Structures are given as structure tokens and as C-alpha cells.
Structure 1
């Protein structure tokens, strides 16, 4: 089984996320998601561009669920921005928020988000992506569209370590 829960920093700045530290209900959900292709979706982002999950084969994809009231979610924007800038076309970040198109368009502009933001994501989150795992939560898909790592809310204990965690997850997924 792959990852995830509490993040601890080692001497080599590699982060270990321990699966056993997740709530039992989250462990069960993670087992259901990892190793499988998640439900495909086609939805417009706040800029009106259609985002179809199936179009991103050949790339690592981060599907990130957040809401505007989540404090750590706001603090993580710079880490996701930096990952998108550094990885360019090899990484697709799709953030899915609960708000309306207008609310999330303003949120994207206010926070300088440089990745895709989908709106009205609560239904998608509830239907197919483990709403019980809280906010934020992250699904890391490999270049074949398979969920390799799923991180529930409790994996994100320190926003200051988000970038290193994302970088580590990216490397794990791409170290075939």
C-alpha cells in the first residue's frame, strides 16, 4: 500500500507520510481509490475552459479539493503555483472548489492561482472523490491516469511543508 498521513521530515528533506496515522474511515477510502483510475469528469473551469480528466494521460495530475473557508488551503496556493511553474507541461493541477463560478474566479484572481480551478465541486467531491476525507484532500494520478496516492485532510498538518510534500509525491509517481 502506498502512503499517507502525518508528514515527518528526514535528514534528506524527504517526507514520509504514514498511512496508519489516518482515521480508520479514511484508510478504507484510500484503499478503495489507490491503484485505480478515478471517475472521469468533464467540467468547465472558472475561465470557461473545459477540463476533461481523460485528456491528461502522459502527465502527472494533482486533483486538489479545497474550500474557501479552509485556512490551510489558502496557505497552500503558493506551493501549488510553484509546482505548476516548475513542472510545466509535465504536471496538470486541477483544483476543485465548492463555490460558485464567480466566487472562485475572484478567489483565483485574489490569490494569484496559476492552475485550473473548477467550481461547484461539492457534488463531484461527494459523488466520487471522498468528501468524508475533508479539506484539503489530494489525489495524485500517474501518467496513465491511475490514482497512486490519496491524501486526506489530516495529511496537511503544516502548510509550510506543502511544497516539499508535493515535490516528493511527484518524484514518487515519476520514478518508474
Structure 2
């Protein structure tokens, strides 16, 4: 009787482990990472039209995920503004907002006016594809559309410049 219980428990554990691993493989979310081709998104922008990542093919692109309520994002804003003013003709800065309204971002821009392209990921679909877990998060995408850097947290102008100059 004791062996029958042990065999049942072992069999149940094996079936449970197999089921867990099978479910993990099947439900694994598709996302990009450093070294992968960047997902070519199409998102609404401040002007009311759409911006595609492919619009900037052949350029080094910086994607920065931010939120207007995020304290580190506010801390980072002057650094991004300086980067965009000093290097914006050489490197494209795209600011991606998750889930906020255009009006709220426009109010934010009155104080933190970074000269960049602002796009809106309302349902966080693109954020999930880029495996964004918070904000600020910054990605550097090379001229061929490959993600080369992924940085969590606020960046300074010089940190960002040191990231992008490697791919110019």
C-alpha cells in the first residue's frame, strides 16, 4: 500500500512538471531583446498621425519609455532634452508614453520640452513586445534596426551619447 501511494505521488508530480513546462513553452510571450531585430511599431503621435519605427531606417534610434507621473522620468527629462538638442540631428529620439492621454503629455511638455518624436502606446502592446517592465527604459537601435542597448532607469546625456556613438 505504501509503494502504491509513493508511485501515485511521483506520477502526479511528473505529470504536473510536464504540464507546467509545456504550458510555459506554449504561452511564452513573444518579445525582442538586445541583438534582436526591433519590432516595427506603428503608434499615434502628438500631431494626430502615426509614426513607424521603419520611418527612421538607416538612422540610429533611441526609444525612451516614460510616464508623466514617473519621478525618475522627470529627473531624466533635462538630460534627454540636452541630448536631443546636442545630437538630435545625428540620432533620432523617440519618446514612448504608455497609457496616458495626449493632453496630459502636452502639459508635461510645457515644463519638460524635449525636442523628440512623442508616440503613444495606449494598450502597452508594443511595450510588451519590447519587454518593458517600467520607466524610464531606454533602447538603442542601430541603423539596420537591431536592438543594441537596453538600459533600465534614468540616463544622462553623456551615458546616452556613449551608447549611441558606437553604432553611428
Give the match for residue 36 of structure 1: 36
Q: Contact 2:38/2:146 (CA < 8 Å) preserved in 1?
A: yes
Give the match for residue 139 of structure 1: 139
Give the match for residue 110 of structure 1: 111
Give the match for residue 128 of structure 2: 127
Give the match for residue 17 of structure 1: none
Rounded Cα–Cα distance in structure 2 between residues aligned with 1:136 and 1:63? 10
Judged with a 3 Å threshold, the aligned counterparts in structure 2 of structure 1 residues 37 and 96 are, in CA distance, closer, same or farther, namely same
Per-residue CA distance 1:6-61 (angstroms, 9 max, x = gap): xxxxxxxxxxxxxxxxxxxxxxxxx9511111211111212224211011112110
Q: Contact 2:41/2:126 (CA < 8 Å) preserved in 1?
A: no
Rounded Cα–Cα distance in structure 2 between residues aligned with 1:49 and 1:55? 13
Rounded Cα–Cα distance in structure 2 between residues aligned with 1:131 and 1:111? 22
Rounded Cα–Cα distance in structure 2 between residues aligned with 1:109 and 1:47? 16
Tell me how far 1:152 sits from its aligned partner.
Answer: 2.1
Tell me how far 1:126 sits from its aligned partner.
Answer: 4.0
Where does the alignment leave 5 or more consecutive residues of structure 2 unmatched? 1-30
| TM-score where L is the length of structure 1 | 0.70
Say which one has the larger Rg. Answer: 2
Where does the alignment leave 5 or more consecutive residues of structure 1 unmatched? 1-30
Tell me how far 1:63 sits from its aligned partner.
Answer: 0.6
Within-5 A mapping of 1:88-99: 88-98=88-98, 99=100
| TM-score where L is the length of structure 2 | 0.73
Per-residue CA distance 1:129-166 (angstroms, 9 max, x = gap): 2132x21111100111110011123xx3xx6xx11111
Q: Contact 1:100/1:120 (CA < 8 Å) preserved in 2?
A: no
How many residues align? The count is 138
The 3-state SS of whatever aligns with 1:149 is: strand
Give the match for residue 164 of structure 1: 158
Q: Contact 1:139/1:151 (CA < 8 Å) preserved in 2?
A: yes
Rounded Cα–Cα distance in structure 2 between residues aligned with 1:122 and 1:76? 24
